[in-house]
Amino acid sequence: MTENDSIVTEVTEAIQDTTALSQMKEGVKYLTTTPVSDWLPELVLTYVVPLGLKILAAIVVFLLGRWIIKLVKKWMANGLMSRHADATLHSFLSNLVSVVLYFILIISIVGILGINTSSLVALLASAGLAVGMSLGGTLQNFAGGVLLVMFRPFKVGDYISSQGFEGVVSEIQIFNTHILTVDNKEVILPNGALATGALTNYSKQGTRRVDWTFSIAYGDDYDKAKAVLRRLCDDDQRIQQSPEPFIELAKLNDSSVDITVRAWVNAADYWGVFFSMNEKVYKAFAHEGLNIPFPQLDVHVKQ
């Protein structure tokens, strides 16, 4: 750009600024010198009424759009149920579709209000990039949710353990997974950590192994104790016989003889078998004259 072009540009901008200032002064003068009854109806018809109609139309579109979104989610839920889709996929897709449809609804309402949507979308894209850089963990949780749905390390209804919490998966959302603990507490775990961290799924396999350690006192009949444990395992129909229960002497402890028992059961029967066997062994050992010892220390005093 030459020096003359620069001078022309500066003069043009100065003229435009002067014109705008002059128009503003004329408008203020008109409002202060003209009776309100002369310019107020024109102002209402020119600006207030169109704006009010736009706001009313935006409210109607919002209410209608929200009703349509609920209808779409209900239709999608019925379609997934009719196809016997997994509850995990249902929960994730429901949240994802809801977010997308509400975003489209907001853009539509903004357009009805007269705001340039293309500029708004560009602004939202720029803001989204900035927010995405500052909220990297949130994006990681979203990506984790996608990975959980794709690779299915667990599903709704599974009993899992992760990040120091364990419970039944009740819902898998876009960013978080909800689990219910055994004492009915709801724990919300981020999907990013679930997708990349260590996780134990107790419901993945159909069977689980139950482990016990039962103790008898020194001097008690070990063979008799082993036979009692074998009988209790054989009498419980929930304990599988293939592979057969493992019963062996595990350790000669300081004040007890420890016997390890390992048995395979269906995953759903794990805790029932575990607690009932403890009760049965306690009663059976007492009936058979087998002593369950407690920690003790012998002290020998020499003169």
Span 207-287 CATH architecture = 2-Layer Sandwich (3.30)
Spatial CA neighbour of 189 closest among 171, 177, 175, 201: 177
pLDDT profile of the chain (303 residues), mean per 10: 54 56 62 59 64 80 85 77 64 75 79 67 60 59 80 87 91 88 92 88 91 94 95 94 94 92 94 95 94 81 79
Tens digits of per-residue pLDDT, 186-231? 999 998 888 888 899 998 888 999 999 999 999 999 999 999 999 9
CATH of domain 41-134: 1.10.287.1260
**Right CATH number for 140-201 from 2.170.140.10, 2.40.50.430, 2.30.30.60, 3.90.1170.50?**
2.30.30.60
From CA 173, how far away is CA 91, in angstroms rounded? 6
Give the amino acid at 23: Q
Which single residue is written with the structure tokens 């689980």? 208
What is the secondary structure of 45-98 as a DSSP string? IIIIHHHHHHHHHHHHHHHHHHHHHHHHHHHHHHHHHHTT--HHHHHHHHHHHH
Please give the model's pTM, rounded to 2 decimal places.
Answer: 0.55
Parse the chain into domains and list their residue ranges.
41-134, 140-201, 207-287
Helix (H, G, I), strand (E, B) or coil at 298: coil
What is the secondary structure of 200-215 as a DSSP string? EETTSSSEEEEEEEEE
**Omega within 30 of 0 (cis) for the link into 243:** yes
From CA 260, how far away is CA 245, in angstroms rounded? 10
Query: Comparing 41-134 with 207-287, is the CATH topology the same?
Result: no
Element of type H or E holding 172: strand 165-172
Which single residue is written with the structure tokens 């009424």? 49
Tell me, what's the pLDDT at 148?
Answer: 83
Question: Which parts of 87-201 fold into alpha helices (H)?
Answer: 87-112, 117-134, 136-151, 191-196
Distances in Å between the alpha carbon of 270 and those of 7, 208, 231, 240?
A: 88, 7, 19, 12
Enumerate helices (H) and strands (E) in the chain, giving the number of each. 9, 8
Give the amino acid at 175: F
